Structure 1
Amino acid sequence: ESALAAYIQLSADDCEKPKPSASWMFSAIAEDPDFLAPIKAFKRQLLERLKGETDDLGSLLICFLAIEGLRSMNLFDSDVLSAEEHKLLVSSLLKIAG
């Protein structure tokens, strides 16, 4: 299994777990603009690692951004996908990942 496929599967599994809304995050960002700096740095490191393991940057970016979209919908309690659509998205991303 590729690192990208593992990232997709682990992230999709995590997004299926119910979590409380993180709307408080907007207040935290307003008070401290650097609040998200560690998260941004981690995601950048992750993206660089995944880039190092693929020759298809376009497919990687599509998968990475789709997963980040799932995470954002989950984080802010704004998921608009049905369970069937979520499953289709994950299986499609796994096909792209190879």
Structure 2
Amino acid sequence: MRRRLDVRWRLSVQEIKSITEQQVAILKENANLLKPGGRLVYSTCSLEPEENHQIVAQFLEENTSFQMVEEKQLTPFEHGVDGAYAAKLLLNQPQ
């Protein structure tokens, strides 16, 4: 939102909820394409926890065959970027 300040006032709560539902669906669809041992990176250009860590946490809770390998949040004041989030997930080998 650093460059698009209007977003804060333009998007409604319902629109944000719809966006996060789409993000969850995309994550689940792509997770189904992995073979055991495969890695999946979920990333956004957002600082909002509802679009980032909370989506990954929900996904991991519902998909116990995955584990988080690494998670990174980039912020404007620390990294000089607009803001970004990435989580690397691993599909565990079957036991």
What TM-score results when the alignment is normalised by the length of structure 2? 0.38
Where is the helix percentage greater, Structure 1 or Structure 2? 1
Where is the strand percentage greater, Structure 1 or Structure 2? 2
